[in-house]
Structure 1
Amino acid sequence: MPRWFTALFWTSIAVAALVVGLASWDALIASPPEPDPVLKRNVRIDRDQWGVPHIHGHTDADVAYGIAVAHAEDDFRNLEEVLAAVRGRAGAILGEDGAKLDYVGHLIDARAVADAGYGGLSPATRALVEAYAQGLNDYARRHPGEIRLQGLFPVTGRDVVAGFALRSPFFFGMDRVLGALAEGRLPPRDSGPPDERGSNGFAVAAARSDDATTRLIINSHQPWEGGVSWWELVVHSDEGWDFAGANFPGAPFPLLGHNRHLGWANTVNRPDLIDVYKLVLNADRTQYRFDGKWLPLEAKRIWLRVRLGPLILPIPRMVYRSRHGAVILNDLGGFAIRHAGIGDVRQVEQYYRLNKARNFAEWKAVMAMQAVPATNFVYADEAGHIGMFYNALFPDRRPGFDWKGVLPGDTSATLWNGYKPWAAIPMVVDPRAGWVANSNNMPTVATAPDENLKATDFAPELGLETYTTNRMHRFVELFGGVNGPISRDALLRIKFDKGYSRASVAGQWMAAVLAVDSTGQADLAAAQRLLARWDWTADGRGEADSLAVAVMASVGREVYAGEALPPAAPKLREVVKALLASFGRLDVPLADYQRLRHGGADLPVFGGPDTLRAIYAKVAPDGRRVANNGDGFIMLVEWPKDGAVTSRSIHQFGAATIRRSSPHYADQAPLFVREEWKTVDF
């Protein structure tokens, strides 16, 4: 055997051993906790013609067990990734992106928070999350070939609770704060998700409808795939839990929807619920000054497990904490972060109780728990009550500080420890106009103008958002244009509206594009002439729709984040160049340009960024916009006078969200693009 071959052989063996060793290292040190008690479960899972699971249990805990099993049947991959993040092992599956989430989990100490608060949850809630964990464990045990991460199972009820503690702050801006500080920049002054993660919610009271029916439209905008994608379910238990709606992977109950008596939609809100403090550090950054005393800066070494090809490599990092909360050290200094709901795990308790509320009074009493730190609730019920609640856990801050900026961290004057009561939040209940709505906009626009709240009625320390959206402007214009009763058809025309308002930021952007000096630039001039003829809708009927949608999408994230609009000329030039390169023309039919693609489905879909029929997309290699966010799970709930609740729903894909071989992988997509419904068998 040649000497060079021998050397190569043994080098290969060494590399292989290293690969196996590093992969095994991750599993060996995983050390999963002792499982919760295993109980016999009495549950039945029936699926309707669309594959939507209807889960029947003797107890509520039995139902939670069935939710876990049914969801795993449809989407075990995302469930596994959510659980891995809770255990600090997302990097072992997802590589660098997952490791970032693991780092945040260590930074905010999500697992310790869950452990500390677990005993304070009611026995019923603990039984619920433990049954859900048991269902995940049983599914994993029966399907070992689907497991990508060894040593992850069994999971426990504490893992389920920790998942809520980890993900909750990301819905009100933690991404943007951490991202800026990690890059050595100061955090933004305004909160909110980093992308167009929005929603619509509408409610019309029976007194304003044309048929004495109270109506609720649930229309949450989330990514169409991944750990916060909607999955539809219907649950029934002999203990009185009856609910139809949808949840995210890792939730042991529906997060929105309706029971027999009431229901709600959620929309992301963006109040200022995160405070950043500049610490005064000593020379070696081991202490910080607080009220004239030097206190030790808590420091802990962690190991991130990061997948790089076949390897799972251990990467050391340090996490720091002060009395305020998590701390990030960068070239600008030390910055502590404190957020609403810090240390609280009762979110699982509140959502569970909301599911079982039987009337408006009970529902409001549960909301007063204030365990859900942010998200608007648009509410309706069988008694005809409607409301828009700007739900937020507002810190009880002292006046006199710039709470949107970076605060001094060396004084207890800026360190809040309590919250404003729920009764102090902005809310509009049973307005005379008979309708309420929210589209991720400021709480002072929620119904007819003469009944809206006034910003001056709320202290600046609350940090109420001042965002407007095109969707807000459109629902104001459209509801205002209805004289007399609001019928079901009128309400649905509003929900599926594809128009842009000239009064919105989108309208301002289009005006800026049309004002670009295109002298000597024939392509830009042609684009402007085409846009000048546009009818301001993205319904696929006009020759300028694709160009207009592309122009709007070019600033989608800047608009949603509340950032300044960029110069229009480069953006217009970029859009024109892309359309000409892919299609050789600017007047591309929207049916050809914007598509829904999932499995074998490749369908035209209408709407656009920040329209009430919200369609967000990525550009595919063929130059087309392929929808991946926005309108997804939608539900229309109706309480007729002296009648039982009925509902209809639609999902952008189908019940089997990742099972390509399932007939329900994309069977709802044709209905979705036609804006049609399926009946919920409740």
Structure 2
Amino acid sequence: MKKWLVRISATLAALVLVALVGLMTWEPFFARTAETSHSGKAYAADLGGSQPITYTAEIIRDEFGVPHIHGKTDADVAYGVAIAQAEDDFFTLQDVVAMARGRYGAIAGEEGAQVDYAYHLLDARGTAERHYSKLPADTRALFEAYASGLNDYAATHPGELKLARLFPVNGEDIAAGFALRQPFFFGLGNIIGNLVSGKPLAPEFGPDIPGYPRAAEGQSGYDPTGKQARAFPLPWGEDGALSGSNAFAVTPAKSGGPSVLISNSHQPLEGGVAWYELVVESDEGWHFAGANFPGSPFPFLGHNRHLGWTNTVNRPDMTDVYRLEVDATGTKYKLDGKWLKLEQKTVTLPVKMGPVVLPIRQTIYRSQHGPVIKNDKGYFAIRYGGIDRIDQLDAYYRLNKARNLEEWQAQLARMAIPSTNFIYADEAGNIAYVYNAAIPDRAKGENWRGILNGTDSSLIWDGPVGYECLPKLINPASGWLYNSNNEPWTAAGAGSDLKAADFAPELGIETKQTNRSRRAYRLLSEAGLLDRAALERIKYDTAYAREGYVADLLAALAKLDLRQEPDLARTRDLLLQWDFNADGKGAGDALALLMIKDFMSAEYQNKGLPDAEEKLRAAADHLQSHFGRLDPPMGELLRLRQTPGPFAVDLPLDGGSDTLRASTTWDVDPDGRLALKHGDSFIMWAEWLPGQRVTSRSIQPFGAAITRPHSKHFTDQSRLFVRKQLKPVWFWREDVLANAISRKTVTSRR
């Protein structure tokens, strides 16, 4: 009997071992391996023949490690961009590639599986497969070269790989990443998360459907294991949306000298949408200084010789939700009185849990409207601006090479870039603001902010409105333009601003202000000459206007009856006496910093305002617990921290969650300090003096070597950043060579 028990136990142990080994190894073999890119086979006929393509680029790094990449052709440069970016941040690049292939869950577990679900739901791969071959050959050449650079780096650095068989990749893989990520810039993640979990939609969606009420609470997200999840999905910013940026442009007449463009983006300081600074130059005329995100062969903002632009996130109504009528079998839906087949596809999501990767099966639905989500209230289809398009890949490339305002506007007029405001300046003294968005071309009269009747095909729009329909301003009389994630009706000052009544309500343009907008509008309007000193004061302003959610917070605090709690009353009084300035000098600055963030976030994301007493109590407890006082200097609370390694930094910061000097969100460290994770990030200041060449300055919170803690460029910009100083951008080749600390040539492997 004992022998049988031993044999049974051994057999069970062997089966368990086999199962564990299977769960630890299945995913790389299950995943589709993309065709190798550096061979040039995929598009050889278009790109110059059947022989393998060789790329050669020169990478020069300046004193801050910023790469300046030169090549004979634009494709050579794109290859060098991939190599340089991998040298500095291959850690994040692998995450981006995994997202673009539906494998992020094998790296990041449940959070990664949320992204993989979106990858399949939005058909990112299918979108790339349908449209990549239609892109111009020179654009595809960039993406093939960039993929080749990633493949070469992966092949020569196997010890850095996170996931087996993730490489090689090709240009189509990189394109799929664009198709996946772009819709999340205008908040699609919140809608997907709420539909998947059956939670209420955002407040703009009315109570059209019984049991689907208007929302006041926060969003919830998809969880492949069936447990409650966090906001969906996380890798693109706080609560699934990006929450800030400032941009300014000034004419020579108003500045007293140059055309000025100030880019002040507020992005996460690390991760898939953290800015990476670079300068590119080819013998084919591509010459641009700026920044991109991991996974892109070209900059998204910055300047060339002639012109420049920057972006801020806008929030038009870009997504429509339809309730479908589905038959009892769940396989057909009704459209115009006919029953059509509901497309269904089962996908496998890899979900890493400890040492194993679980295969989680999910069914993906699709109708003529677009992706379909099934929950306990029914079947809901979504359709969004830019759906089934990737021509933004070509538009950004052409913007990089635009030579004047006319050429630049021609690219925006394609409506290929789905969203974000553009602020522009050029050497000719022009400035411009375009409320750019591929807003759906909707019929008049329908409640497009409600849940739509999915049985009526007339509500399925096709493509965006025309460029002429968008709000835009060219060379306003005021001489200045700005945007701080505000409505487009305040952009250039009294007498120059656009009027909301002149634009169709079906555009769904937001009608909101931020504190940054209120402050910028006031300061710009009051200024006489907007020279460099005046613009620096405005850009680094740390004050709050007593309006909007700030006024609501103070009013709520004033109404509290705290006669029975004298300690909490003293805390409240400290805020009521606050000077509305997050400059780190006032006694109430630290307390205000802790209080305002959640009120700002609630307003931005259309949530109900938090309970003032509850937040006051929590803020007081935090300060007393960690600092033993209610009024520590704000710089002791708010920190710019980067660890580990010999170049770790821990520096004091100023600015608040919604000030022009932005410290938007943070992680709470064990010592009670707030480590900035999202706020002022890449700042670039470009100037064109009449008759002179463009010059620019820039700064990052940490450094060029984003995930290389043993590099001297890991944090070498931090002290300048904290002191509100900028470093020079070496745009012109003679300046690059004069300030080079390293120089090498890289050539692709055959």
TM class, shorter-length: over 0.9
Q: Deviations over 1:14-66 (max 9, x none)?
A: 44433332222111122312223142112111111101100011100000000
Correspondent of 2:483 among 438, 455, 459: 438
* Match of residue 706 from structure 2: 657
Where 1:631 maps in the other structure, the secondary structure is: strand
Give the AA of the match of 2:717.
Q
Q: Quick one: distance in 1 between partners of 2:430 and 2:688?
A: 11
Question: Which stretch of the first structure deviates more once superposed, 521-530 or 118-127?
Answer: 521-530
Structure 2 counterpart of 1:177, which letter? I
Residue 599 of structure 2 corresponds to which residue in structure 1?
555
Name the CA shift for 1:283/1:608 in 2 (closer, same or farther; >3 Å).
same
* Paired position in structure 2 for 1:535: 579
What secondary structure sits across from 1:670 in the alignment? Answer: helix
| SS, match of residue 69 in structure 2 | strand
Q: 1:44 aligns with which of 28, 48, 58?
A: 58
**1:357-372 matches, cutoff 5 A:** 357-372=402-417
| Structure 2 counterparts to residues 103-252 of structure 1, below 5 A | 103-190=117-204, 194-195=240-241, 197-210=243-256, 212-252=257-297
| CA shift digits 1:432-470 (9 cap, x unpaired) | 111000001111111112211111111111100112100
* Aligned mate of 1:343, from 368, 371, 388: 388
For residues 412 and 148 of structure 2, what CA distance do their matches in structure 1 show? 29
1:6, CA displacement in angstroms? 8.3
Secondary structure at 2:134 match in 1: coil
Aligned: 1:615 with 2:616 = no
C-alpha distance in 2 between matches for 1:213 and 1:367: 25
CA contact (8 A) 1:75 1:658 kept: yes
Partner of 1:207, secondary structure, is helix
Q: Indicate how the Cα distance of structure 1 residues 5 and 491 shifts in structure 2: closer, same or farther if over 3 A, else same.
A: farther
Corresponding residue for residue 34 of structure 1: 35
Contact 2:132 2:390 in 1 (8 A): yes
Please state how far the C-alpha of 1:529 moved relative to its aligned partner.
2.1
Distance 2:239 2:356 in 1: 32
In structure 2, the partner of 1:22 is: 23
Q: Give the equivalent residue in structure 2 for 1:404.
A: 449
- Which residue of structure 1 lines up, in the alignment, with residue 313 of structure 2? 268
The answer as to 2:696 corresponding to 1:647 is yes
Trace 1:432-511 onto structure 2 (pairs within 5 A): 432-482=477-527, 484-511=528-555
CA distance in 1, matches of 2:340, 2:434: 41
Alignment partner of 1:331 is 2:348: no
In structure 2, distance between residues paired with 1:564 and 1:543 = 29
Superposition deviation, residue 413 in structure 1: 2.0
Deviates more, 1:35-44 or 1:656-665: 35-44
Q: What is the deviation of 1:10?
A: 6.5
Q: Does 1:590 align with 2:634?
A: yes
Paired residue type of 2:562: S
Q: 2-side partners of 1:671 and 1:10: how far apart?
A: 64
Q: 2: CA distance between counterparts of 1:350 and 1:505? A: 38
- Give the aligned partner of residue 589 of structure 2: 545
- CA positional deviation for 1:12: 5.5
Tell me, yes or no, if the aligned pair for 2:590 and 2:631 is still in contact at 8 Å. Answer: yes
- Which of 555, 572, 597 is the equivalent residue of 2:616? 572
Offset of residue 554 of structure 1: 3.0
| Structure 1 gap ranges (5+) | none
Distance 1:530 1:583 in 2: 16
Distance 1:479-1:680 versus aligned 2 partners, 3 A rule: same
The residue aligned with 1:678 is 727
Instruction: Go from structure 1 to structure 2 and tell me whether the alpha carbon gap of 1:169 and 1:195 turns closer, same or farther (over 3 Å shift).
Output: closer
Unaligned stretches of 5+ residues in structure 2: 41-51, 206-237, 732-750
Which amino acid in structure 2 is aligned with residue 648 of structure 1?
R
Letter in 2 for 1:206: P
Which one-letter code corresponds to 1:567 in the other structure? D
Per the alignment, residue 747 of structure 2 pairs with: none
Can you list the C-alpha shifts for 1:558-584, whole angstroms capped at 9, x where unaligned?
Answer: 122132323311121121122112212
Which residue is 1:78 aligned to?
92
Letter in 1 for 2:99: A
Q: Counterparts of 1:504 and 1:259 in 2: how far apart (Å)?
A: 39
Partners of 2:355 and 2:271 lie apart in 1 by: 23
Could you give the per-residue CA deviations for residues 362-417 of structure 1, whole angstroms, max 9, x where no partner exists? 10111111110100001111111111110011111111211111111000121101
Matched to 1:668, the amino acid is Q
Does structure 1 residue 669 correspond to structure 2 residue 718? yes
Q: Distance in 2 between matches of 1:468 and 1:563?
A: 15
- Do the aligned residues in 1 keep the contact of 2:333 with 2:341 (CA within 8 Å)? yes
How far 1:283 moved relative to its partner? 1.4
Instruction: Report SS of the residue matched to 2:254.
Output: coil
Q: C-alpha offsets along residues 452-503 of structure 1, whole Å, 9 cap, x if unaligned?
A: 1111111111100112100010001111221x21111101111111110012
> CA–CA distance in 2 between the matches of 1:554 and 1:6?
61
Separation (CA, whole Å) in 2 of partners of 1:13 and 1:201: 62
SS of the counterpart of 2:255? coil
- Shift in Å, 1:11: 5.7
Deviations along 1:125-155, whole A, 9 cap, x unmatched?
0000000000000000000111111111110
Shift in Å, 1:557? 1.8
1:95 aligned partner = 109
Partner of 1:55: 69
Residues in 2 aligned to 1:206 and 1:491: alpha-carbon distance in whole angstroms: 13
Q: State how 1:616-635 maps to structure 2 within 5 Å.
A: 616=664, 617-635=666-684
Q: RMSD of aligned C-alpha atoms?
A: 1.6
Distance 1:614 1:13 in 2: 57
Match of 2:364 in 1: 319
1:423 aligns with one of 464, 468, 488: 468
- For residues 291 and 554 of structure 2, the distance between their equivalents in structure 1, rounded to whole angstroms, comes to 36
Determine the C-alpha separation between the residues in 2 that align with 1:400 and 1:186: 24
SS at match of 2:495: helix
Q: Distance in 2 between matches of 1:125 and 1:505?
A: 45
Code of the residue aligned with 1:673 in structure 2: it is V
Moved more, 244-253 or 37-46: 37-46
How far apart, in 2, do the equivalents of 1:6 and 1:228 lie?
54
